[in-house]
Amino acid sequence: MKRRNAASDRRRRKTFTIVWTAVLAIGVIIMMYYEMSALLYILATLGVTALLVIVAVSDLHQGEKQSAEPLRMDDSAAIGSGITPQLGKSR
């Protein structure tokens, strides 16, 4: 029964997203038809600002796994350019 509910929830969210997108598209088309470009410009600016605020506030490091190992340096640039790798050698 849990699977049916999960599938139903996904379907409901997908339908809601499609309806929301269609309503916004129709709204933009109507504003373009009636030449409300100033209002479209303001709404687009506010939308981009909201997106930037959401990205700035979100926790982007949540997916990174913390490990006790120190970060290993990558010597792939030396390998690609023909330089002898120096990481494994002691000086």
Read off the pTM. Answer: 0.55
Residue 31: other Cβ atoms inside 10 A: 15
pLDDT tens-digit readout, 25-47: 999 999 999 999 999 999 999 99
Please tell me the predicted confidence (pLDDT) of residue 72: 63
Residue 31 tokens read as 């504003």
- Tell me the domain boundaries of the chain: 1-57
Residue 20 in 3-state DSSP? helix
**Which pair of tokens denotes residue 63?**
């997916």
Residue-level pLDDT, tens digit, the chain, 91 residues: 566 788 889 999 999 999 999 999 999 999 999 999 999 999 999 999 999 999 988 877 665 666 556 666 666 666 667 677 666 655 5
Q: Which pLDDT belongs to residue 40?
A: 95
